[in-house]
Amino acid sequence: MSAHILAIDQGTTSSRAILFDAGQRVVAVAQEEFEQHFPRSGWVEHEPEDIWNSTLAVCRAAIARAKLAPRDIAGIGITNQRETTVVWDRASGRAIHRAIVWQDRRTAETCAALRAAGHEPKVSGRTGLILDPYFSGTKIAWILDQVPGARDLAKQGRLAFGTVDSWLLWRLTGGGSHATDATNASRTLLYDIHRGAWDEELLDLIRVPRSLLPEIKDSAADYGSTLSDFFGAPIRILGIAGDQQAAVVGQACFKPGMIKSTYGTGCFALLNTGGRAVASKNRLLTTVAYQLNGQRSYALEGAIFIAGAAVQWLRDGLRIIANAAESGVLAEAADLNQEVYLVPAFVGLGAPYWDAEARGALFGLTRSTGPAEIARAALEAVCYQTHDLLEAMHADWPEAQSASSVLRVDGGMVASDWTMQCLADILDAPVDRPRILETTALGAAYLAGMQAGVYPGLEELTRNWHLDRRFTPAMDEGVRRHKLAGWKDAVARTLSKR
């Protein structure tokens, strides 16, 4: 029996493929970065062909490194950067515009107009989201309005929309499958998370034709098979989940009250609320955590747009570090008497502020401020923002505080011991780092593996989660409160005057 699972982890800055064996151990990894496009301030785009070509290349590379044949792979699981929007021609399979990335803010005015017209309560009540350019719906409408003839083509049923999972699925199956899962659908502003279906009234409101949309399936389901041309023989595609929801699965956060936070380009904290969709009073998102056998589990989510991207800025923008690993070393050398705060609102602020017009700022600079202090401020900003999210989660769902006081973390940034200790100190709570840091890909593999019959059910997957290290708080409470007060003041000064 085929006993390997290929996980495709298509992220904001790179595409990766990871092969797991029957024991959920990593067999081979391949990764390839691709170009980011910033045509205007606040705009972020990808070339869809770059996404596709890099994904295909890393899949082939991982299979070759593992020396496996297609018959050795029981299935493929896909996890993806969410909200990033692709619209393509069904006949040619080519995108009609660059992909508009989740970080992009070009539809801020559209969202503001919808809010001013009083539509946000209805949108939030059905989708669990707020009216913000972060989500896919207004991005679709923008593409249809800006590309000549696109609206007419959409009305004729000649165009298709997808988040990145749907785009890859379409290409892998040669146009044979146009589908998505409930977690990705829940990020579009077009999906009723309570009924589990596209919402016709919201489609009309945001001006998105129904004909563009993919079929919605469980996170573990039969999504079709790849064309033989790509890997030498068909391989079944058996799981799909948005990256943050895949990390929930990979972190085995299956019990209500469990919280995970992923530190990649952005930071995303999800609190499992079980079968109950908890409405937020603190501008968090209510989202689908995963859907299995037709049953949806929900989560409260807080989204930070800039986390690892701040380290990239230190490297590529300021050029004060040569690689990400140097950021923690530099931060540790900072002068503790300098109170420098970075509010990394490079593309606006996410939860719980949701200010699309805010822009980044540094506070507390003196003539002696140098690279070490700025690096420390960048890493501390991630910790402060996480504190904001968990504070809002506990206010929305007080049961969470008693259910679990531990934060499970994953993603590239958590390899830094300095950053994780800082996080535990600022949260005043334990932070657990697992042995396998690539939990997003692992979650995609779990979903496909369960569908293929290679992996067991959720209870056994829970037992397979292993701790690498627990970071416990060690900061003086007075110092912690002082630092948080300084952060709150810096954010208040950064918010746009609306």
290-317: pLDDT as tens digits: 999 999 999 999 988 888 888 888 898 8
- Mapped onto helix, strand or coil, the DSSP state of residue 464 is coil
Bridge partners, residue 301, by sequence: 270, 285
Q: Which regions in the chain score pLDDT beneath 50?
A: none
d(CA 284, CA 281): 7
Helices (H) and strands (E) in the chain, counts: 18, 22
User: Are 4-243 and 251-434+466-498 in the same CATH fold?
Assistant: yes
The CATH code that applies to domain 4-243 is: 3.30.420.40
Per-residue DSSP letter, 182: H
Angle among Cα 162, 49, 97 to the nearest 5 degrees reads 60
Q: What kind of fold does domain 251-434+466-498 have according to CATH?
A: Nucleotidyltransferase; domain 5 (3.30.420)
Instruction: Look at residue 476 in the predicted model and tell me its pLDDT.
Output: 94
Predicted TM-score of the model (pTM) = 0.86
Instruction: Look at residue 9 in the predicted model and tell me its pLDDT.
Output: 95
The region that residue 76 occupies, defined by phi over 0 for left and psi between -120 and 50 for alpha, beta otherwise, is: beta
What is the number of other CB atoms lying within 10 angstroms of the CB of residue 323? 8
Cα-Cα-Cα-Cα torsion 159, 165, 171, 175, nearest 10 degrees, comes to -50
Identify the CA nearest to 234 among candidates 357, 16, 71, 124: 71
Q: For residue 75, which phi and psi values (nearest 5 degrees)?
A: 180, 165
Please say whether the beta carbons of 384 and 484 come within 8 A: yes
Instruction: Look at residue 400 in the predicted model and tell me its pLDDT.
Output: 63
Instruction: Look at residue 123 in the predicted model and tell me its pLDDT.
Output: 95
Bridge partners, residue 433, by sequence: 469
Instruction: Look at residue 331 in the predicted model and tell me its pLDDT.
Output: 87
Instruction: Look at residue 326 in the predicted model and tell me its pLDDT.
Output: 83
Instruction: Look at residue 312 in the predicted model and tell me its pLDDT.
Output: 86
d(CA 169, CA 421): 39
Instruction: Look at residue 94 in the predicted model and tell me its pLDDT.
Output: 95
Identify the CA nearest to 240 among candidates 169, 177, 137, 140: 169
Ordered by start, the domain boundaries in the chain are 4-243, 251-434+466-498
Bridge partners, residue 26, by sequence: 20
Instruction: Look at residue 403 in the predicted model and tell me its pLDDT.
Output: 53
